Amino acid sequence: MYAFQSKYIVVEGAIGAGKTSLVLQLSKRYQARTILEVVEENPFLPRFYEDIKGYAFRTQIFFLLSRYDQQIKATQQDLFQQLSFSDYMFAKDRIFAHLNLSGNELAMYEHLFQIMCRDIPSPDIIIYLRASTNLLMKRIMLRDRPFERRISFGYLERLNNNYEDYFNNKQNFPNSKLITFNADELDFVGNKRDLELICEKLQQKDKE
């Protein structure tokens, strides 16, 4: 089995890109730990997509605190000192915040985020799953989570654009290596060759 130099690898992408599915495949392949985001625990999320403006700040702050708590616990347990795959990076919270918040709410969020991010380790490698908005919407509809049923195509398109802008700017993740895959062209759950391709590229990136 390949021995990674990297210890903390995250898979990122917009809602429905396949982050958790890929993390589970990779952690099984490399016998690594997983750090999975718990989305369903946010009590404001079901109302958020019904009234984005009214529930954006509460939803965003809950996610920020929840993700911070999980990352700090992982750090204290030395999970980042052994090979770990996660289906989110702490900084992804900011991608959503800049889509959902504005004015004083965004300023307050930024103040909190900048304080918290000092304590969070950067991923060694980020796997970015780029996906078309059509694919994202299709997958969201197929998995049929109750709180995601009101996600509009327009909202998803804006989120997808924000992800593209974020990962096109290396200054957003200066301490992490980036590898990008087109999720529209890969089936890493049903096609072993596609998973092998991802593993090969990941191992190459680890050696750089």
Q: Does 137 appear as a known binding residue?
A: no
Helix, strand counts (H, E) of the chain: 8, 5
Q: Does 18 appear as a known binding residue?
A: yes
Q: Does 72 appear as a known binding residue?
A: no
Q: Does 45 appear as a known binding residue?
A: no
Helix (H, G, I), strand (E, B) or coil at 84: strand
Q: Does 102 appear as a known binding residue?
A: no
Whether 165 is a known active-site residue: answer no
Q: Does 47 appear as a known binding residue?
A: no
H, E, C per residue of 180-202:
EEEHHHCCCCCCHHHHHHHHHHH
CA gap 186, 201 in Å, rounded:
13
Query: Any residues with CB less than 8 A from the CB of 113 and at least 6 apart, and which?
Result: 64, 93, 94, 97
CA gap 66, 116 in Å, rounded:
12
Six-digit token pair at 126? Answer: 């980020």
Q: Does 159 appear as a known binding residue?
A: no
* Active-site pick, 51, 69, 78, 87: 87
Q: Does 139 appear as a known binding residue?
A: yes
Known binding residues for ATP: 13-21, 139-143, 186-188
Question: Could you list the active site residues?
Answer: 87
Known binding residues: 13-21, 139-143, 186-188
